[in-house]
Amino acid sequence: MSLALRQSLTAAVLGISVFLVVIRLARRGQLSFRYSVGWLVVASTGILAGVFVPLVEPIAKGLGLSAAALIGLAALIFITVIAIQLSISISGLQRQVQVLAEQIARIQQHRESGS
């Protein structure tokens, strides 16, 4: 079995694994629809990565890398962008929780002083 074929099969197996895990998490309600769709796109890209290996090979050789290394680097950059976007979402949620907690505290304080 050639190296390119092994790389393609490995990418496909990993992509299918991620796909199945995301579907399971979504069915359990542990992952919202919005994030499920995003991760299913990532998994599908992994499944299709094997197709990309021959297409990326000339670019990788021009950069002095293997196709797998270039695809891996692109995946790392993509996952980093996703992590930054999720960090932004979490920061916004933290601000909302803080505002809600302050509002609840004011309501409770108003009820206690009014009683």
What does the pLDDT read at residue 54? 76
Does a structural domain hold residue 63?
yes
Residue 96: inside a domain: no
- Per-residue pLDDT at 96: 97
**54 domain residue, yes or no:** yes
Domain enclosing residue 12, as ranges: 3-85
Tell me, yes or no, whether 103 lies in a domain. Answer: no
CA distance 54 to 11: 13
Q: Is the pTM of this model over 0.75?
A: no
**Per the structure, how many domains does the chain have?**
1
Q: What's the pLDDT at 84?
A: 94
Instruction: From first to last of the 115 residues of the chain, give the pLDDT tens digit.
Output: 777 778 778 878 888 999 999 999 999 999 989 889 988 988 888 788 777 777 888 888 999 998 778 888 888 898 899 899 889 999 999 999 999 999 999 999 999 887 6
DSSP per-residue string spanning the chain: --HHHHHHHHHHHHHHHHHHHHHHHHHHTSS-HHHHHHHHHHHHHHHHHHHHHHHHHHHHHHHT--HHHHHHHHHHHHHHHHHHHHHHHHHHHHHHHHHHHHHHHHHHHHHHHH-
| Spatial CA neighbour of 72 closest among 94, 98, 100, 52 | 52
112 is a domain residue? no
pLDDT given for residue 92 in this prediction:
94
Domain membership flag for residue 108: no
